[in-house]
């Protein structure tokens, strides 16, 4: 074999989600689009706000194409970065300028760039289970080692004692993801405060920074106005990885940003390391048209009421059927306990009813599946009789 | 220091081109846009074909936004990949299917993904001087070692003897870039045949594949209908890295592809390694809207006559003034010999006349500068008196 073995392994395994996504496409083609209930992929079902489409059309009509589609600075167009910085300042009261914003090709790019900017071979990165599977890929690419902190039972909040025990001299960074994929849980302000206190204490103890990376593609997708603490207000050595994939329903356009906390020690140097990491991974600049689009739509958000309706409909019915699940405050996922011996068996049985759900063993918590409810309401309504049958198979339904 | 040192170094040095690009923006703001003659960046000056703008508008108006802007498969939308494969088949007679096409965020992404897919720590990659500076960054990121092969004097074709001597047991791949950045030279069919023969012989000698990577963002930018050999027709173990940045004047949109030669040994495995490498670098999918745009514009090319006019105007005048330079058959660069002690001194002196040109020491050939003539014709016309003064300073002009 003369190619890179680990790249091949990654490519041939693919993520379980992508695998189901491909299966789903084939299955829909075979038996009909509306006969398959695909809850596998976090592909937003709510249309982008009208302002997005208007921005694409008007920018395309108004601007000189060579300007609109030309290279921007590697870190992003200056005016776009200023719009992002001002938005962070206005919303969260953080004193940040364009010099600390780096536009990216979405959340995955943000995270791989940040990890590459910070990590040396063998550094450890703590993630909180359940966690988005690709974290392990990006951490490995940066030469780091993933360390998984177990959650509090049932609530899926952070288990502070477990977390504290995982921090070692080699801990370079911690990734926090709230609202969480796959649990939908939002970490409380108390949890965040406690995490930051522990990190401050441990940083002092080990005599070096421990960075807190907030991966927040789901920030805008929260229900009942629940508060999502902005990490820069709690911890100086923090970096925010943001994406417009969910907030503007633009996942395929790959647009997001990295915001480096200016209050951090050596923040200017770390911003430069981010620039260097982006360069080394082959990111020349974030897509130019969509940089302009998000700047024009900086205060716009996707309508979240359809997601909330879906959540309530699915959560209420599934728990009625006897499935066990934490009620999510954000994102668009239900994290359901497998009533079978393991998550894969549950996934296989659900598949027989054309219900495509994601077994979450790779997410760091065994025995759970993720159900992405970013689908048409009709899909949920039509799927309910099959979820009921599935519950009956497992004898969950109380008569 | 608690961040990654090499990322910081890369970010703080930046490429010399990006450095001048930033200087240029500041300088134009200070003394006026038309007072600065910026020949530094390969940012296309010819407007994208009208079909591109029409495709953006009609796709945005016609398609359901969640479909248009949703995730595609990681390797790219199936119909888009089929359009690309068919295009390669029709143009070059290569029997290739969508299964060997991987859509990317442009040429830089293509190249870093391919290198990551192929390379193990310590593998060697041969590049032909002069070469695009970022090759060294992408090779290093893949764990490889760059090996520079010296060109034939004056013609900047490949020196076959030098090339043969550079191949060792550790040679994993060779990057070919024709039309060449920065020289504008197109390698002749004879050169390509010879390179491939040498590689076949050396592959047999060392008992393993040596891959030939063709980086061809400038394929469509050739003058007088000169022939650019399609590498898959000459060498089985070959991979094409393509970008629409120049062919459709869309450099900021980051759209291109990787085509794996199906005739290669283990081609399916190598395609999977490409998928895995893309995943590990944080590329989720190529920008969705522009995947559709390039598929709709698959047979469309930017108008190249303005580039040819610019080349002739600048080449004829600069050589008249006494500057020494190979006549380029493609791309949009002149590669001019420094009349000063070194390229940086020449660059500095030119800068005093507000002429921004790129010293090419980092391109693997000392004593040359790159002049990117992808600018308005007016910029060239207005710059000529200053180039003349510069030539006078160096006493180049024959009376």
Q: Which residue has the higher pLDDT, B154 or A201?
A: A201
Average pLDDT along chain A: 95
Question: Which residues of chain B neighbour A11 with C-beta distances below 8 Å?
Answer: 117, 271-279
pLDDT score at B251 = 96
- Structure tokens, A198: 């522990």
Question: Which residues of chain B neighbour A14 with C-beta distances below 8 Å?
Answer: 74, 275, 279
**Distant-in-sequence contacts of A144-149, Cβ < 8 A, 24+ apart:** A144/A115, A144/A119, A144/A172, A145/A170, A147/A171, A148/A364
DSSP annotation of A232 reads G
- For residue B285, give the chain A residue with the closest CA: A252
DSSP H helical segments within B119-210, as ranges?
134-141, 160-166, 189-206
pLDDT score at B13 = 80
Indicate the residue of B18, B57, B288 with minimum beta-carbon distance to A252: B288
Contact yes or no for B276 and A8 at CB 8 A: yes
Which of B1, B11, B275 to substitute to test the interface with A, most A CBs within 10 Å?
B11
Confidence band of B399 (pLDDT split at 50, 70, 90): low
pLDDT score at B19 = 83
DSSP annotation of A327 reads P
The secondary element (H helix, E strand) that includes residue A213 is strand A211-215
- Structure tokens, B260: 């794996």
pLDDT score at A16 = 81
Q: Which residues contact B166 (CB under 8 A, 6 or more apart)?
A: B126, B147, B148, B149
| Residue A122 CB-density burial (10 A; 0-12 exposed, 13-18 middle, 19+ buried) | exposed
Region B70-76: mean pLDDT is 93
DSSP annotation of A158 reads B
Indicate if the pLDDT at residue B295 is higher than 70: yes
Region B182-192: mean pLDDT is 96
Instruction: For CATH 3.90.1150.10, list the domain ranges present in chain A.
Output: 5-48+302-393
Contact yes or no for A282 and B2 at CB 8 A: no
pLDDT score at B41 = 85
Contact yes or no for A74 and B18 at CB 8 A: yes
DSSP H helical segments within A174-263, as ranges?
189-206
Q: Give the model confidence (pLDDT) of B83-100 as tens digits.
A: 999 999 999 999 999 999
**How many contacts, defined by CB atoms under 8 Å, are there between A and B?**
289
Indicate if the pLDDT at residue A265 is higher than 70: yes
- Tell me the residues of chain A between 32 and 91 that have a Cβ less than 8 Å away from chain B: 41, 43-48, 52-53, 56-57, 60-61, 64-66, 68-74
Average pLDDT along chain B: 95
B8 touches chain A (CB under 8 A): yes
Which of B5, B6, B7 to substitute to test the interface with A, most A CBs within 10 Å?
B7
- Tell me the residues of chain A between 265 and 304 that have a Cβ less than 8 Å away from chain B: 266, 269-291
Question: Which residues of chain A neighbour B254 with C-beta distances below 8 Å?
Answer: 105, 284-287
pLDDT score at B289 = 98
B21 touches chain A (CB under 8 A): yes
> Which stretches does DSSP call E strand in chain B?
37-38, 101-104, 124-128, 145-149, 171-176, 211-215, 238-243, 256-260, 333-337, 355-356, 358-359, 368-372
For chain B, give the longest Cα–Cα distance: 67
- Give one DSSP letter per residue of A242-273, joined into a string: EESTTTTT-GGG--EEEEE-TTSTTHHHHHHH
Angle (CA) A325 A326 A327, round 5° = 115
Contact yes or no for B287 and A11 at CB 8 A: no
Indicate if the pLDDT at residue A349 is higher than 70: yes
Which class does domain A50-296 fall in?
alpha beta
Indicate if the pLDDT at residue A18 is higher than 80: no
Query: Which of A119-123, A361-365, B347-351 is the least confident region?
Result: A361-365
- Tell me the residues of chain A between 330 and 369 that have a Cβ less than 8 Å away from chain B: none
Q: Contact at 8 Å (CB) between A354 and A386?
A: yes
- Fold observed for domain A5-48+302-393: 3.90.1150
B160 touches chain A (CB under 8 A): no
Question: Which residues of chain B neighbour A142 with C-beta distances below 8 Å?
Answer: 4
Handedness of CA A329, A334, A339, A340 (dihedral sign): negative
Region B90-116: mean pLDDT is 97
Indicate if the pLDDT at residue B331 is higher than 90: yes
Provide the percentage of residues in chain B whose pLDDT is more than 90.
92
| Distance from the A171 Cα atom to the nearest Cα atom in chain B, whole angstroms | 11
Q: Give the model confidence (pLDDT) of B9-64 as tens digits.
A: 988 886 788 789 889 989 999 999 999 999 998 889 999 999 999 999 999 999 99
Q: Which residues contact A82 (CB under 8 A, 6 or more apart)?
A: A97, A98
pLDDT score at A21 = 83
pTM attached to this predicted model: 0.96
Among residues B141, B139, B111, the alpha carbon closest in space to that of B126 is found at B139
Q: Which residue has the higher pLDDT, A296 or B362?
A: A296
Indicate if the pLDDT at residue A89 is higher than 70: yes
Confidence band of A399 (pLDDT split at 50, 70, 90): low
| Distance from the A397 Cα atom to the nearest Cα atom in chain B, whole angstroms | 36
- For residue B266, give the chain A residue with the closest CA: A1
A374 touches chain B (CB under 8 A): no
Q: Give the model confidence (pLDDT) of A371-391 as tens digits.
A: 999 999 999 999 999 999 999
- For residue A64, give the chain B residue with the closest CA: B47
Indicate if the pLDDT at residue B128 is higher than 70: yes
A108 touches chain B (CB under 8 A): yes
Indicate if the pLDDT at residue B214 is higher than 60: yes
Instruction: For CATH 3.40.640.10, list the domain ranges present in chain A.
Output: 50-296
Among residues B19, B16, B17, B12, the alpha carbon closest in space to that of B43 is found at B17
> How many of the other CB atoms lie within 10 Å of CB of B86?
15
- φ/ψ bin of B372: left (φ > 0), alpha (ψ from -120 to 50), beta (otherwise): beta
Region B342-371: mean pLDDT is 94
Which of B277, B282, B375 to substitute to test the interface with A, most A CBs within 10 Å?
B282
- Give one DSSP letter per residue of A47-101, joined into a string: PPPHHHHHHHHHHHHHS-HHHHTS---TT--HHHHHHHHHHHHHHH-----GGGE
- Give one DSSP letter per residue of A94-125, joined into a string: ----GGGEEEESHHHHHHHHHHHHH--TT-EE
d(CA A284, CA A296): 22
Region A274-281: mean pLDDT is 96
Region A205-209: mean pLDDT is 94
> How many of the other CB atoms lie within 10 Å of CB of A21?
20
């Amino acid at each position: 074999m003369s190619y890179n073995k680990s790249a091949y392994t990654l490519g041939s395994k693919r993520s379980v989600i992508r695998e189901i996504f491909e299966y789903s496409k084939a299955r829909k083609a075979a038996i009909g689009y509306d006969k398959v209930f695909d809850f596998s992929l976090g592909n937003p079902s709510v249309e982008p706000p009208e302002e997005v489409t208007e921005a694409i059309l008007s920018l395309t009509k108004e601007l000189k194409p060579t300007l609109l589609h030309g290279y921007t600075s590697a870190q992003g167009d200056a005016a776009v970065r200023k719009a992002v910085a001002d938005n962070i300042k206005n919303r969260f009261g953080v004193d940040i300028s364009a010099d600390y914003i780096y536009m990216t090709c979405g959340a995955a790019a943000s995270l791989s760039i940040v990890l590459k900017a910070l990590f040396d071979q063998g550094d450890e990165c703590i993630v909180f289970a359940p966690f988005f599977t690709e974290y392990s890929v990006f951490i490995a690419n940066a030469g780091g080692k993933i360390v998984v902190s177990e959650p509090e039972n049932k609530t899926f909040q952070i288990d502070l004692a477990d977390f504290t025990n995982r921090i070692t001299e080699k801990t370079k960074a911690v990734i926090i993801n709230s609202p969480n994929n796959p649990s939908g849980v939002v970490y409380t302000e108390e949890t965040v405060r406690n995490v930051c206190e522990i990190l401050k204490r441990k940083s002092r103890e080990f005599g070096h920074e421990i960075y807190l990376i907030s991966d927040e593609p789901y920030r805008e997708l929260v229900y009942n106005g629940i508060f999502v603490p902005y990490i820069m207000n709690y911890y100086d050595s923090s970096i925010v990885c943001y994406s417009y994939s969910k907030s503007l329903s633009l996942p395929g356009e790959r647009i997001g940003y990295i915001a480096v906390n200016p209050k951090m020690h050596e923040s200017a140097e770390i911003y430069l390391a981010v620039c260097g990491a982006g360069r080394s991974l082959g990111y020349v600049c974030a897509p130019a048209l969509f940089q302009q689009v998000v700047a024009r739509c900086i205060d716009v958000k996707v309508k979240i009421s359809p997601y909330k309706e879906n959540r309530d409909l699915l959560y209420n019915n599934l728990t009625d059927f006897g499935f066990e699940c934490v009620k999510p405050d954000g994102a668009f996922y239900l994290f359901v306990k497998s009533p079978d011996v393991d998550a894969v068996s549950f996934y296989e049985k659900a598949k027989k009813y054309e219900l495509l759900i994601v077994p979450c063993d790779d997410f760091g918590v065994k025995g759970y599946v993720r159900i992405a409810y970013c689908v048409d309401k009709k899909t949920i309504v039509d799927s309910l009789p099959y979820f009921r049958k599935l519950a009956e198979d497992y004898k969950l339904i109380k008569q």
